[in-house]
Amino acid sequence: MPKFLRYLLIIIGILVIAAGCFAAFIAIRGIPHYTAEKITVKVEPTPARLERGKVLVSLLCKNCHMDEKTNKLTGRELAEVPQFGQVFSKNITNDPVYGIGKWTDGEIIYLLRTGLKPDGTYLPPYMAKVPHMSDEDVYSVISFLRSDNPWVAADKTVHPPTSPSFLTKFLCSMGIVKPFPYPKSVIPPPDTTNAVELGRYVAFNFECFSCHSEDFKTNDFLNPEKSKGFFGGGNSFKMQDGTVVQSLNLTPDEETGIGKWTEDEFVTAVKSGILPGGQHALRNPPMTPYAGLTDKEVKAVYVYLRSVPKIKNKVERNIVDK
Ligand code: HEC
Ligand code: HEC
């Protein structure tokens, strides 16, 4: 064998072994731990907060934490994101042992803002975070979680622990996804007289951008507008029957986006899931109708979406007949 070939084989051999060691390191190390700060907040559950909290939890937490068997927020298997592993959301009822009854308000707020549990465990993107939500809205979520609503009544349901996929471990180990910094100052509510600002607030906080951009893996949750294919659609969801549904293009592009939609058509689609023409419904899940948003909020999203850059991206529409 010529000398150079022998060297080449040795170099390839070393590279293969190095790659194997690296993969083993990622697999064994798992998701890195961090240090969680202690935040002291005691949320006053006013009637206004409880009411707003119910809307926010219905739109933001119920999807992933509602358990059909108990009709409470006792968690379920999230089979729709197999790329991230075998994922189970947790029991977030007020049970002191099996739920979050013993967590302080500050601990829940810290997790929702940063992704870190009190012991420093980091919850990857399959647990939603709210880095952009106003302090007042976060307090409303806490008020609801602490309330006597049947959804959060103490329950002893336990699910198996999540086993993250190699992809999840890789993304976390490389710091591609990592905890968000805790906000340095109060986050004020959006100016509701400014439609673009209100629309952006809803589009960021109610996860529209997260599902409607190219891929969860390339989303920039801290600066959503920097996400790859921002609102251009194409993110995919595995359904229980094995089919794959893709999110649609919501940019103002006339052919492949919703550039030709009227405001009314948009409000109907978002709030009731019915498409223009009235004969077809959007698949739910993943596109759960946002009946809890006000018309004003959805119209504001429409106005905001008119302001995002057009993306030409034809996504196969997956219509279900009513
Ligand atoms: C996209 C799905 C998803 C959404 C939306 C979501 N969660 Fe979660 N949540 C999860 C998953 C999955 C876990 C468990 C992750 C794990 O085990 O690594 C979790 C864990 C938690 C935990 C930690 C519980 C524990 O005992 O460790 C809390 C608290 C929580 N979620 C609260 C909320 C609240 C409040 C909301 C709404 C603002 C919310 N979650 C929205 C998926 C979600
Ligand atoms: C969990 C992921 C997810 C979230 C969150 C989400 N969507 Fe969707 N959306 C989808 C999917 C998937 C479809 C396509 C459904 C189908 O093909 O039947 C869709 C379809 C739509 C459509 C129809 C577009 C068309 O061309 O027919 C509109 C409008 C829409 N979503 C708006 C929104 C808005 C506004 C929000 C936030 C308030 C939002 N979506 C949040 C996944 C999501």
Nearest CA to ligand 1 atom 33: 61
Instruction: Tell me, using a 6 A CB cutoff, whether residue 87 lines ligand 1.
Output: yes
Alpha helices in 174-309 (DSSP H): 195-205, 208-212, 263-272, 295-306
Ligand 2 mean position to 63 CA, how many Å? 14
Instruction: Tell me, using a 6 A CB cutoff, whether residue 211 lines ligand 2.
Output: yes
Instruction: Tell me, using a 6 A CB cutoff, whether residue 78 lines ligand 2.
Output: no
**Confidence (pLDDT) at 147:** 98
Ligand 2 mean position to 212 CA, how many Å? 7
Per-residue pLDDT of the chain (322 residues; tens, 9 = 90+): 788 889 999 999 999 999 998 888 888 888 999 999 999 999 999 999 999 999 999 999 998 999 999 999 999 999 888 889 999 999 999 999 999 999 999 999 999 999 999 999 999 989 999 999 999 999 999 999 999 999 999 999 999 999 999 999 999 999 989 999 999 999 999 999 999 999 999 999 999 999 999 998 899 999 999 999 999 999 998 888 888 899 999 999 999 999 999 999 999 999 999 999 998 999 998 899 999 999 999 999 999 999 999 999 999 887 765 4
Residue 222: Cβ-neighbour burial (10 angstroms; 0-12, 13-18, 19+): exposed
Q: Does domain 47-173 have CATH number 3.90.700?
A: no
Ligand 1 mean position to 296 CA, how many Å? 28
Where along the chain do its domains lie? 47-173, 195-321
Instruction: Tell me, using a 6 A CB cutoff, whether residue 92 lines ligand 1.
Output: yes
Backbone φ and ψ for 232, nearest 5 degrees, come out as: -85, 0
Alpha-carbon span 291 to 282, nearest angstrom: 14
Atom number in ligand 1 closest to CA 31: 18
Nearest CA to ligand 1 atom 36: 61
Closest ligand to C-alpha of residue 99 is: 1
The contacts of residue 71 (CB under 8 Å, 6+ apart) are: 150, 151
Q: Are 137 and 152 in contact (CB under 8 A)?
A: no
Instruction: Tell me, using a 6 A CB cutoff, whether residue 128 lines ligand 1.
Output: yes
3-state secondary structure of 318: coil
